[in-house]
A and B are shown apart, each in its own frame.
Chain A
Amino acid sequence: MTKCKCGRKPVYFRRYEGHYYCKCCFLSMIEKKFNKTVGKYRLVQNGDHIVVGLSGGKDSSTALYLMNRLLQKRENVSLTAVSIDEGIGTYRPKTLELAKKLCKDLEVPHKLYSFQKEFGKPLDKKIKGSKDACTFCGVGRRYLLNKASRELGATKLCVGHNLDDEAQSVLMNLLRGDLLRAGRMGTITENPAPKGFIPRIKPLRFIPEKETALYAILRGLPSPGSECPNLGGLRPEIRVFLNEMEQKRAGTKFALLESFDKLSPFVQKAVQYKGPLTKCKKCKEPSSKEVCKTCELWKSA
Chain B
Amino acid sequence: MKVQVTYTGKTKSLTLKEGSSAQDLLEEMGINPEIVLVKQNNEIVPETELLSDKDKIDLILIKRIV
Contact = CB atoms under 8 A, between A and B. Distances in A.
Nearest to B66: A236
Contact of B66 (A10, A11, A231): A231
A113 interface: no
B48 A247 contact: no
Contact of B45 (A11, A231, A239): A11
Contacts, number: 53
B62 interface: yes
Main secondary structure of the interface of A (DSSP, over half): helix
Contacts of A13: 46-48
B65 A240 contact: yes
B37 A243 contact: no
Contact of B63 (A217, A224, A246, A247): A224
Given A11-B46, A12-B46, A210 B32 contact: no
B5 interface: no
Contacts of A223: 60
Contact of B34 (A218, A236, A246): A246
26 contacts: A10-B46, A13-B46, A13-B48, A209-B62, A209-B63, A210-B34, A213-B37, A213-B60, A213-B62, A214-B37, A214-B44, A217-B37, A217-B60, A218-B44, A224-B62, A224-B63, A227-B63, A227-B64, A231-B64, A231-B66, A236-B65, A243-B32, A243-B35, A247-B32, A247-B33, A247-B34
